[in-house]
Amino acid sequence: MKERKWISKTDGIVLGVLVLFAAGFLLWRAVAAQPGMRAVVTVDGEAVLQIDLQSAEDAQSYTLQNGVRLIAENHTVRFAASDCPDGICVETGALQKVGESAACVPNRTVVTVVGGEPRDVDVIAY
Amino acid sequence: MGSAISVSAYGGSKEAAHSLCVAACDAVQALDTRVLSKTASSSELYRLNHTDPAAFPVAVSSELFDALAETKAIYAHSGGKAALGCGALTSLWGMDTDEFRVPAQEEIDAARALCSDDTVQLDAENNTVFFAPGQELNLGSTGKGLGCDRAAQVLREAVDAGTITGGIVSVGGSIAAVGSSDGEGTSWRVGIRDPFGTANEYFATLTVGESFLSTSGSYEKQFTENGKTYHHILDLTTGYPAETQLVSVTIVAQTGLQSDALSTLCFLLGEEDSREVLELYNAQAVFVYADRTVSATASLRGSVELVNDAYTWR
Amino acid sequence: MKAKTYRIALTGLLGACAVALSYFESLLPTAAFLPPGAKPGFSNLANMFAASMLGPLPAFGIALLKAGFAALTRGGTAGLMSLCGGIFSTAVMLLLFKKDRRLGFVGIGVISAVCHNLGQLCVAAALVGNLSVLAYLPALLLFGAVAGTLTGLVCRAVLPALRRATASFRNNR
């Protein structure tokens, strides 16, 4: 019986489209991305915390209700500790540019770096 | 406590700042787990609430005793609207565990009868506590302030030792500001959350030195049942969430505990009736009403700047 | 050996391969631009064999097995992501193998790898409650392209030998 081809023209088109789209997007992000202003932390889809990255020089530690710990320093933010089995969130490392994000899926927590206006308060009381 | 804790340390080396932040966070969490939590079985308060009434009066640590005593004293000014022993009612509404429900009228009446501080006796000489069977002590509305006090302690030691020049702690939105960011006394700028906005929008900024701030607002914990929205600040004289024109009250006080307790108290009392107790505790306040009008106590007014056009001064 | 027994045995063998491949994949380090838990997808190889040679039941069975293994070793979240990705990519593969006449193995491999990652991404987005994880999409597509190509090539390389070895049985597709 004749086996299906190794690779066909259609495959080429599929690959081409994928690679073009993906590479283009990544390139755009790498070039056009601004250093982030703030990091938005969401748990279960709700924003629970916003960290001002602009003013984050010395280490600032944040602990969420679900036990996840974040550290902001040198205008970056990262997962510092979490009780999830894989620890991928912590492995992701420091986030700095607009659009970069890290997630701890077992804890339903996502940290995304966003741009926007600089916030001129040191903290928000709520 | 169930809140997000954030600690920022300024002016020191990275390692020092980092370990300080972790130490402060740990101190606050330990305080909650060991002493204050109403729901964690490891906490002293939990054990106190679950002690057999026959064993009363019970001796407690001075840390817990002082917290209970001061909370009771502050709520004594509430005209019965707030009490240290309000646990029976708050559990009924599911406030402690965020499993909100609207209780039946009979349940509310029954719980209210167990919420008077008249039956809560604190003996300062022996650090003992006595309360009637069925009552539950609740530090839920002062816990964040206490956490701030604890964290501020850690930061203050570091500032005095010269490790850092200053720091800011936020425990669930209650703030403690210690030292200054540059070591030269530059004031801190604290934003007050917009009651009608999202978690990161602030409608005003407060310029303060070292201080403790807390905000009580009806936006904090809310749930809707059968089309009606209920917030979490209960008025013990009715057994229901307080009906008021206020949507948020921010207090600047001498200690975290005071700022937290007073914010709840003043929310319940309203602006007029709060004057006396604010003077007594040398505290300042910002009142925000549902129509987006704002008022503040005299000496604080100059430090408040409205940054959202929708808000106006009364 | 009867045809049915053979199929069961082969499914079992492929299942074991899938689990072993999964295990080795989990040892690889993660990259920051990839979503949590997204692996190159070589373990898809076993699924691909099953989808092209054995049919829906064994193919889905293997996907379920991998998801179960992930759940046991890496937690419920990983298991759920593997399940969604596995079912989606297996379904697409089965469809393509049966109905499509223009794609080669590389094409099917790439599409199935991308589908697998897309399934995982959907679960992640649903779990964390917002769409920010979609930012990983471009990186996923690139990785899917590479991994899928490799998987497709290996599958095509081995399939004829497998078919010859089982030529004496009926029901070989």
Run of H or E including C12:
helix C3-26
Q: How far apart are CA B8 and CA B5, in angstroms?
A: 10
In this complex, the residue of A44, A85, A110 whose CB is nearest that of residue C75 is A85
In this complex, the residue of A18, A25, A109 whose CB is nearest that of residue C128 is A109
Contacts of A26 in chain C (CB under 8 A): 33, 138-139, 142
Calculate the average pLDDT of chain C.
80
Task: Report how far apart, in Å, the C-alpha atoms of A11 and of each of A14, A17, A105, C7, C97 are.
Answer: 5, 10, 33, 30, 14
Calculate the average pLDDT of chain B.
91
Question: Is B200 touching A (CB cutoff 8 A)?
Answer: yes
Encoding tokens for residue B228?
A: 């009606």
In tens, the pLDDT along A35-57 reads 778 888 888 877 778 787 877 77
State residue C157's pLDDT score.
87
Question: Is C144 touching A (CB cutoff 8 A)?
Answer: yes
Residue B188, pLDDT above cutoff 80: yes
Q: Tell me if C173 is assigned to some domain.
A: no
ipTM for the complex? 0.89
Residue C30, pLDDT above cutoff 80: no
Q: Looking at the 3D structure of chain C, how many domains does it have?
A: 1
Q: Which residues, 6+ apart, have CB-to-CB distance to A115 below 8 Å?
A: A34, A36, A37, A38, A98
Q: How far apart are CA B296 and CA C30, in angstroms?
A: 53
Q: How far apart are CA B243 and CA B57, in angstroms?
A: 36
Q: Where are the domains of chain B?
A: 55-130, 187-313
Q: What is the CATH number of the domain that holds C42?
A: 1.10.1760.20
Inter-chain CB proximity C29 and A91 less than 8 Å: yes
Encoding tokens for residue B200?
A: 């990161």
Residue C70, pLDDT above cutoff 90: no
State residue B285's pLDDT score.
97
* Structural fold of domain B55-130: T-fold (1.10.3980)
State residue B252's pLDDT score.
97
Q: Which of A60, A66, A123 is the mutation pick for testing B, counting most B CBs within 10 A?
A: A123
Beta strands at B188-193 and A123-125: parallel, antiparallel or unpaired: parallel
In this complex, the residue of A5, A25, A105 whose CB is nearest that of residue C127 is A105
- How many residues in chain B? 314
| Residue B181: band (very low, low, confident or very high) from pLDDT cuts 50, 70, 90 | confident
In this complex, the residue of B3, B21, B192 whose CB is nearest that of residue A125 is B192
CA distance C106 to chain A (A): 5
Contacts of C37 in chain A (CB under 8 A): 86, 88, 105
- Residues C103, C111: contact at Cβ < 8 Å? yes
Half-sphere exposure of B219 (CA within 13 A, CB side): 18
* Structural fold of domain B187-313: T-fold (3.10.520)
- Whether omega before B57 lies within 30 degrees of 0, making that bond cis, reads yes
| Residue C32: band (very low, low, confident or very high) from pLDDT cuts 50, 70, 90 | very low
In tens, the pLDDT along B261-297 reads 999 999 999 999 999 999 999 999 999 999 999 999 9
Residue C62, pLDDT above cutoff 60: yes
Encoding tokens for residue B72?
A: 């009771």
State residue B68's pLDDT score.
94
Question: Is A50 touching C (CB cutoff 8 A)?
Answer: no
Which residue segment(s) compose the domain that C129 sits in? 3-165
The residue to which tokens 């002690």 are assigned? B51
